[in-house]
Amino acid sequence: MARIIGMNGDTAVAYAVKQVDVDVIAAYPITPQTIIVEKLSEYVNNGELNAAYVPVESEHSALSACVGASLAGARVFTATASQGLALMYEILYIASSLRTTIVMALGNRALSAPINIHCSHDDAYAARDAGWIELFAENVQEAYDLTLQAFRIAEDKNVLFPTIVNLDGFILTHSLEGVKVFEDEDILKFLPPKEPVYPLDPENPRTYGPLDLFDYYIEHKKHQAEALKASYPYILKAFEEFEEFSGRTYRPLKTLGMEDAEVAIMILGSAAGTVREVVRKLREKGEKVGVVSLTLYRPFPQKELIETLKGVKALAVMDRSYSFGSPGAQLFMDVAATLINLKERPLLFNVVYGLGGRDLKPEHVVQIFEKAKKIAEEGEVPEKEVWVGVRE
């Protein structure tokens, strides 16, 4: 049975973490995720959550503590943002390579300099090559739901990879919504039982992360790569089981108007709602436009994306970040690599938007569609990189 509680994105994530009966929380406060760990500390202090709350001196230490706790068999959570994730960076790779089941909430925020506390996807993209599963929420309800699903996915014995839930800084972390939440006892029916993946046994000691030189390192990395690819059907299974459990549908990608779209936009995070509203209005006028947004970013849903983009003549790939010196920003590169060997594929251009929390307005979306229509008509891309909402 579900009930509705008014919560912002941070409190919704913290409430979900409490409900999954997490064992260990190690985190360091950083805007805009601080509310998450503050709320969890209250739950622990008030006796609402029987967990070890580990106060640490930095984000590097926070994730290090989480790695140890996960390998000891605990259900583990942390949260960070921006510079905090940058300080964790060394341990991101260790956490995934050791196949821990840590769940992390990432309140997406721009990286300095200059200092900015508002939304960019710099931190989400910084983690993209580290071997973590990555999910993106579009609203507060999804932040709650995806946090629950993240534990279900990470702890699946066919998966065993740490998982990030991305929620846009301030836009979602601090925005109030009515969230449909479940009763605690119902949540535990959806989650796997707390069974240590690597049970501690003093009689049979284990070594984790030993020296691994050229004699075996590449084989181990290939095994890790194959394991992350092999996790994909089990992520889909978790989505399907959550739909049966909750009645709410989650898929690797979300679409509107793509059944006959000639031009389309692809996007991540909360701005997808703005694009979707523009698509509805343009389709009412008879325009063949569509939008694709990703719930699952890593592993990248290549097969579904290829199927979805059939018949599209021009695609705008929107990035709330920038990859300096690169042929394109991060999502653009993922999409281009997915489509490169197809005989028939849409013409692509990259749209950089919303850096540091700048609003994406409906008129910006209309401008992007106009550019896409012109590219589709002329059959060429005169300007591969476009910045929108920038004062010239």
Whichever domain contains 353, its CATH number is: 3.40.50.920
Element (H, E) at 23: none
What SS3 state is found at 161? coil
**Domain final residue pick, 191, 211, 246:** 246
pLDDT at 201: 83
Q: What's the number of domains the chain is made of?
A: 2
pTM (two decimals): 0.97
Please identify which residue in the block is written with the tokens 């059939």: 310
- Residue 199 in any domain: the answer is yes
User: 47-67: per-residue pLDDT in tens?
Assistant: 999 999 999 999 999 999 999
User: Minimum mean pLDDT among 112-116, 184-188, 312-316: which range?
Assistant: 184-188
138, 116 contact by CB (below 8 A): no
Q: Kindly state whether residues 127 and 269 are assigned to the same domain.
A: no
φ, ψ of residue 56 to 5 degrees: the values are -120, 170
Predicted confidence band of residue 192 (pLDDT cuts 50, 70, 90): confident
Q: Kindly state whether residues 272 and 304 are assigned to the same domain.
A: yes
pLDDT exceeds 70 at position 1: no
pLDDT at 289: 98
**Whole domain around residue 309: which residue ranges?**
253-387
Q: What is the DSSP string of 114-139?
A: SP--S--SHHHHHTTTTT-EEEE-SS
- Residue 8 in any domain: the answer is yes
Question: Can you tell me the distance from the alpha carbon of 66 to that of 37, in angstroms, rounded to the nearest whole number?
Answer: 14
Predicted confidence band of residue 194 (pLDDT cuts 50, 70, 90): confident
Q: Kindly state whether residues 157 and 11 are assigned to the same domain.
A: yes
pLDDT at 391: 94
- Residue 269 in any domain: the answer is yes
- Residue 392 in any domain: the answer is no
pLDDT exceeds 90 at position 152: yes
User: 92-109: per-residue pLDDT in tens?
Assistant: 999 999 999 999 999 999
Q: What CA–CA distances, in Å, run from 289 to 58, 373, 385?
A: 46, 9, 20
Q: What CA–CA distances, in Å, run from 187 to 22, 203, 240?
A: 12, 35, 15
Please identify which residue in the block is written with the tokens 């991540």: 268
Q: For the chain, what is the mean pLDDT? A: 97
Q: What is the strand order of the sheet 289-294 is part of?
A: 253-256, 289-294, 263-268, 314-319, 347-352, 385-387
- Residue 71 in any domain: the answer is yes
Question: Can you tell me the distance from the alpha carbon of 113 to that of 232, in angstroms, rounded to the nearest whole number?
Answer: 36
% of the chain residues with pLDDT over 70: 100
pLDDT exceeds 90 at position 179: yes
pLDDT exceeds 70 at position 225: yes
pLDDT at 257: 98
104, 164 contact by CB (below 8 A): yes
* Structure token pair of residue 188: 């535990």
Cβ atoms < 10 Å from Cβ of 133: 23
Q: Which of 350, 255, 244 is nearest to 294 (CA)?
A: 255
Q: DSSP label at 110? A: P
Q: Kindly state whether residues 40 and 187 are assigned to the same domain.
A: yes
pLDDT at 198: 77
CATH number reported for the structural domain that contains residue 158 in this entry: 3.40.50.970
Predicted confidence band of residue 154 (pLDDT cuts 50, 70, 90): very high
Q: Are strands 253-256 and 289-294 parallel, antiparallel or unpaired?
A: antiparallel
* Structure token pair of residue 261: 């779209």
